[in-house]
Amino acid sequence: MKRPIAEILSQGDELTTGEITDTNASWLSRELTSLGLDVARHTTVGDRLEDLVGLLREIAERADLCISTGGLGPTCDDLTAEAAAQAFGCPLELDRDALAQVRAYFTRLGRNMPAINEKQALLPRGSERLDNPWGTAPGFALQAGRCRFVFMPGVPGEMKAMFSRWVEPDLRRRFRTVPARLMVLSTVGVGESTLQERLDRIALPPGVKLGFRAGGPENQVKLLFPANFPEAALDDCVTRVAEAIGDAVFAIGGSEERGRDLASVVGRELAVRRSSLYVVETLSGGRMASRCAGEPWFGGALVIPDSAALYRYLGIQPSGYPSPAITAVVHRLREYGSEYALAQIAHFERGRLNDETETVEIHFVLVTPDGVWQQTRTIGGDIERKQITATALSFDSLRRYFLRLSGLRT
Amino acid sequence: MKRPIAEILSQGDELTTGEITDTNASWLSRELTSLGLDVARHTTVGDRLEDLVGLLREIAERADLCISTGGLGPTCDDLTAEAAAQAFGCPLELDRDALAQVRAYFTRLGRNMPAINEKQALLPRGSERLDNPWGTAPGFALQAGRCRFVFMPGVPGEMKAMFSRWVEPDLRRRFRTVPARLMVLSTVGVGESTLQERLDRIALPPGVKLGFRAGGPENQVKLLFPANFPEAALDDCVTRVAEAIGDAVFAIGGSEERGRDLASVVGRELAVRRSSLYVVETLSGGRMASRCAGEPWFGGALVIPDSAALYRYLGIQPSGYPSPAITAVVHRLREYGSEYALAQIAHFERGRLNDETETVEIHFVLVTPDGVWQQTRTIGGDIERKQITATALSFDSLRRYFLRLSGLRT
């Protein structure tokens, strides 16, 4: 049987004028690929009705599935429902349940629904409504010729929630594909070319495809196994790859691992111990706080912009750095209620952080129930790279601590 | 004269499988739009020769310009030159200068050119070579029917350098367009539908196109004026739109305003006063800290996960909330070195933040050199929406304070 052909359609002038980058298309492509569908094409068009109508008809002729995002808002430049109605001869009709849902959304926010939002409850006749409790615009799905069309709003949070809740289960039923099996090894602190070199020493079984997803200090190695690849051989291959990379591997799993980050691995350890973590950030610039916030194991964060401010906060003189700073930080951290506390002590001038030729020496101080642990690293790159690296290495110092603990136990 | 129609074509399996997000298309769209060209469509296809050939022929029929990126590498899955050759009947021929350039690139790296790179010097007969001193793959351009095709490699750094050096000057000569003029009004705290309703009352001059960019609490209203629209009429139109929206407008400007956020407006006021800002975040979950970090006016941030932790930090009892909490926070904020301090005092259980039916009452306490200002708001939505809204309203309370100050001055 031929594998079904999927296409992705993105709509909006903000995309064709380049105001925003289309991240929906790549997210949806990953999801569809992992379901075993071939994504043949992405197309983006602006807010012009005749372009949209023509394009929908084209796609209906060549694809088995089209996932469309955007153009379902309440304003005059939102034209998708109208375009689908014209392209496939199914006029818009008021969907009373959709209208009640849009109204209910505003009621939850304590507001009256503006009259123009009524437009969002107009759906092409015969289409299936896709509820959107996460926002105002319901989606809809319809069949046109050989092609199943799914229309969702362009707001990424709403689109992803709707896809996972309504669209994915439906696609699994509708297209009984056997997906290739993806295994993902998440690593930290080892660059893409070093990973490639370490893996060059291993002979992968025939048919297994090796890929990388480079993202700075956290990089993923991907192994794509053909459908029905024997389980034992798969396990063996993954184990050999993990051994070749070494203890930089912090998580191994299937396609669900693609979103896994170091913080979630550390968080699992903290959650098991019913413990919380307090952090003092300097170099990472608030990135740890915003990653931890909302997590049940987050104890709090102090974000300090530079070393001078840190010294003021600690009430110490910069002379004799770093030891007095570390002593003062440990003393302070002990005062907080969290069982674990991590501080970044680093000497830098904030105005020079973006200078790529400037490296920063950073001391990670980890206060745990069984002692104080320290580690020193040097971090380079522009300001964003320094912040991202400091964040990753901070979480990694905690991960390595828990790794040593479990090593002691076994 | 009709404005020329441009399209963007991106190639590569890594795009259609979603492994990477296509940032070339949005970058090129911004460049072409600012040159006065209308980008009608982006299309992305994978590494399949027949798809590419078909698509090139389609585009030749409907566009005046097509900028293509990707597929010019040395490996077997790089098919662009071959596809152009087949689509337009101009067989590949070895370009000796191109070959010398690819060789020279490797020589500069101190390496011999691998044999497979010779393929990169094969260009369609009659095409113009675009030199690429930044990498191995030269580009090329050709005319097919009404459409000018420009092919460049997909590596963003090489593509951008080639575009600026060779392509942009050529397009300026070739398409003598006068760009439309974009005016952007940035607003906060007013939803997209309310904006639309307020603007429905205004009659826009003929030819002026109204658009929206919705992003949660910060929304932008865009007015696209035809080329050569009279300056006085433009100013008048923008003023009337701004008045209709009211004091939710926090910035007005040209296309450079598209990236403007509230924090940068507040930061400008702080920078003018050579002052710094300290924040205590609860509901916004570290988002203020990571936005402020790196800014010269950032004084520091305390990120507290929930109200119970805030009370512990303040050393107070939750009874009598919020007044004792506010008094304690103000007292604490006075101790820090920053001239301005802002705290979010909110009563919530962290585990219920993601509950959309749960709203949070939040008190913004702003400590300034001339007094303490308070404001209370109710925030709803899921956890992400609550965090984003709390961040925007926090910065907005500072913006409104500075607005009142300047009102007093005038």
Enumerate residues 6+ apart whose C-beta is below 8 A from A184. Answer: A220, A221, A222, A223, A251, A252, A253, A254, A255, A257, A258, A260
B51–A116 C-beta distance less than 8 A: no
* Residue labelled with tokens 């990670």: A364
| Tokens at B231, concatenated | 């300056």
What is the helix (H) or strand (E) element at residue A309, kind and residue range?
helix A307-314
Half-sphere exposure of B222 (CA within 13 A, CB side): 21
Q: What are phi and psi of B219, to 5 degrees?
A: -125, 145
Q: Which one of B10, B34, B183, B193 would you mutate to disrupt binding with A, by most A Cβ within 10 Å of its Cβ?
A: B193
From B139, B174, B209, give the residue that closes a domain: B174
CATH number of the domain to which A365 belongs: 3.90.950.20
Q: Is the ipTM of this complex over 0.90?
A: no
Are residue B189 and residue B246 in the same domain, yes or no?
yes
Q: How many angstroms separate the CA atoms of A375 and A397, rounded?
A: 8
What confidence tens digit (pLDDT) does each residue in A300-315 have? 999 998 888 888 877 7
Enumerate residues 6+ apart whose C-beta is below 8 A from A287. Answer: A281, A387, A388, A390, A391, B290, B293
Residues A364, B298, B186: CA angle, nearest 5 degrees: 125
The total number of structural domains that make up chain A: 3
Q: What are phi and psi of B233, to 5 degrees?
A: -65, -35
Task: Please tell me the predicted confidence (pLDDT) of residue B320.
Answer: 61
Are residue B53 and residue B201 in the same domain, yes or no?
no
Name the residue among A15, A46, A353 with its Cβ closest to that of B294.
A353
Q: How many angstroms separate the CA atoms of A207 and A229, rounded?
A: 9
DSSP state of A358: -
B193–A14 C-beta distance less than 8 A: no
| Tokens at A81, concatenated | 């429902």
Name the residue among A44, A303, A337 with its Cβ closest to that of B301.
A303
Taking one residue from A and the other from B, the number of pairs with CB-CB distance under 8 angstroms is 239
Half-sphere exposure of A111 (CA within 13 A, CB side): 17
Tell me the pLDDT band of A256, cut-offs 50, 70 and 90.
low
Range of the domain at B249: 181-258
Nearest residue in chain B measured CA to CA from A288: B286
Q: How many angstroms separate the CA atoms of B25 and B259, rounded?
A: 18
On the question of a cis peptide bond just before residue A369, with omega within 30 degrees of 0, the verdict is: no
The answer to whether residue B203 neighbours chain A at the CB level (below 8 Å) is no
From A148, A174, A200, give the residue that closes a domain: A174
Q: How many angstroms separate the CA atoms of B291 and B296, rounded?
A: 12
Per the CB < 8 A criterion, the answer to whether A121 and A105 are in contact is no
Q: What is the mean pLDDT of chain A?
A: 88
| Tokens at A395, concatenated | 């979480």
3-state class (DSSP) for residue A289: helix
CATH number of the domain to which A28 belongs: 3.40.980.10
> Would you give the end-to-end CA distance of chain A in angstroms?
50
Q: How many angstroms separate the CA atoms of A212 and A193, rounded?
A: 10
Tell me the pLDDT band of A410, cut-offs 50, 70 and 90.
very low
Residues A253, A258, A264: CA angle, nearest 5 degrees: 80
Are residue B158 and residue B301 in the same domain, yes or no?
no
Angle subtended by helix axes B383-409 and B262-272, to nearest 10: 40
3-state class (DSSP) for residue B330: helix
Q: What are phi and psi of A322, to 5 degrees?
A: -95, -5
DSSP state of A378: E
Q: What are phi and psi of A125, to 5 degrees?
A: -55, 135
> Would you give the end-to-end CA distance of chain B in angstroms?
48
Nearest to A85 by CA among A103, A71, A74, A96: A71
A293–B290 C-beta distance less than 8 A: no
3-state class (DSSP) for residue A11: strand
Nearest residue in chain B measured CA to CA from A222: B19
Residues in B closer than 8 angstroms to A281, CB to CB, are 289
Residues in B closer than 8 angstroms to A155, CB to CB, are 214
The answer to whether residue A224 neighbours chain B at the CB level (below 8 Å) is no
CATH number of the domain to which A253 belongs: 3.30.70.2860
Number of continuous H segments (helices) and E segments (strands) in chain A: 14, 17
- Residue B386's alpha-carbon distances to B118, B215, B282, B306, B356, in angstroms, are 56, 13, 11, 13, 9
State what percent of residues in chain A have pLDDT above 90: 53
Task: Please tell me the predicted confidence (pLDDT) of residue B256.
Answer: 67
Are residue A23 and residue A84 in the same domain, yes or no?
yes
CA A344 to chain centre: 25
How much of chain B is in helix, strand and coil states, percent to nearest 5? 45, 25, 30
Nearest to A366 by CA among A383, A345, A380: A345
Q: Is the dihedral of CA A333, A334, A336, A338 positive or negative?
A: positive
Task: Give strand pairing partners of B92.
Answer: B124
Are residue A302 and residue A360 in the same domain, yes or no?
yes
Range in A39-43, A110-114, B268-272 the model is least confident about: A110-114
Name the residue among B285, B293, B302 with its Cβ closest to that of A305.
B293
Q: How many angstroms separate the CA atoms of B302 and A1, rounded?
A: 59
Are residue B16 and residue B165 in the same domain, yes or no?
yes
Range in A10-24, A330-344, B20-34, B68-82 the model is least confident about: A330-344
Nearest residue in chain A measured CA to CA from B34: A17
Are residue B25 and residue B164 in the same domain, yes or no?
yes
Write the DSSP string, B73-141.
SSSTT--HHHHHHHHHT--EEE-HHHHHHHHHHHHHTT-PPPGGGGGGGEEETTPEEE--TTSS--EEE
- Strand B249-253: give its sheet, edge to edge: B209-213, B218-225, B181-188, B249-253
Task: Give strand pairing partners of A252.
Answer: A185
What confidence tens digit (pLDDT) does each residue in A71-91 have? 998 888 889 999 999 999 999
Amino acid (1-letter code) at residue B27: W
* Residue labelled with tokens 């092609």: A147
From B258, B287, B305, give the residue that closes a domain: B258
- How many C-beta atoms lie closer than 10 Å to residue B298's C-beta? 27
Give chain B's largest Cα–Cα span.
Answer: 83
Per the CB < 8 A criterion, the answer to whether B11 and A1 are in contact is no
Q: What are phi and psi of A85, to 5 degrees?
A: -60, -45
Name the residue among A32, A133, A289 with its Cβ closest to that of B289.
A289
Half-sphere exposure of A235 (CA within 13 A, CB side): 3
* Residue labelled with tokens 């007093």: B408
Name which residue leads in pLDDT, B92 or A224. B92
Task: Please tell me the predicted confidence (pLDDT) of residue B106.
Answer: 81
Are residue A186 and residue A130 in the same domain, yes or no?
no
Q: How many angstroms separate the CA atoms of B7 and B406, rounded?
A: 47
Which range in A163-172, A308-317, A346-355 is most confidently predicted, on average pLDDT? A163-172
Are residue A255 and residue A271 in the same domain, yes or no?
no
pLDDT greater than 50 at residue A269: yes
- How many C-beta atoms lie closer than 10 Å to residue B313's C-beta? 17
Q: Which one of B29, B56, B276 would you mutate to disrupt binding with A, by most A Cβ within 10 Å of its Cβ?
A: B29
Are residue B160 and residue B30 in the same domain, yes or no?
yes
| Tokens at B239, concatenated | 């003023």
Collect the ranges in chain B with pLDDT lower than 70: 1, 215, 255-259, 318-322, 408-410
Half-sphere exposure of B287 (CA within 13 A, CB side): 20
Are residue A70 and residue A20 in the same domain, yes or no?
yes
Nearest to B389 by CA among B283, B293, B305: B283
Q: How many angstroms separate the CA atoms of A88 and A144, rounded?
A: 7
Write the DSSP string, A90-122.
--EEE-HHHHHHHHHHHHHTT-PPPGGGGGGGE
The answer to whether residue B335 neighbours chain A at the CB level (below 8 Å) is no
A291–B289 C-beta distance less than 8 A: no
Are residue A49 and residue A74 in the same domain, yes or no?
yes
What confidence tens digit (pLDDT) does each residue in B322-379 have? 677 777 777 777 777 788 999 998 888 888 888 878 899 999 999 999 888 999 999 9
B44–A74 C-beta distance less than 8 A: no
Name the residue among A26, A299, A305 with its Cβ closest to that of B21.
A26
Nearest to A87 by CA among A128, A64, A58, A62: A58
Nearest residue in chain A measured CA to CA from B36: A17
A2's torsion region: left (phi>0), alpha (psi -120 to 50) or beta? Answer: beta
The answer to whether residue B53 neighbours chain A at the CB level (below 8 Å) is no
Residues in A closer than 8 angstroms to B214, CB to CB, are 73, 155
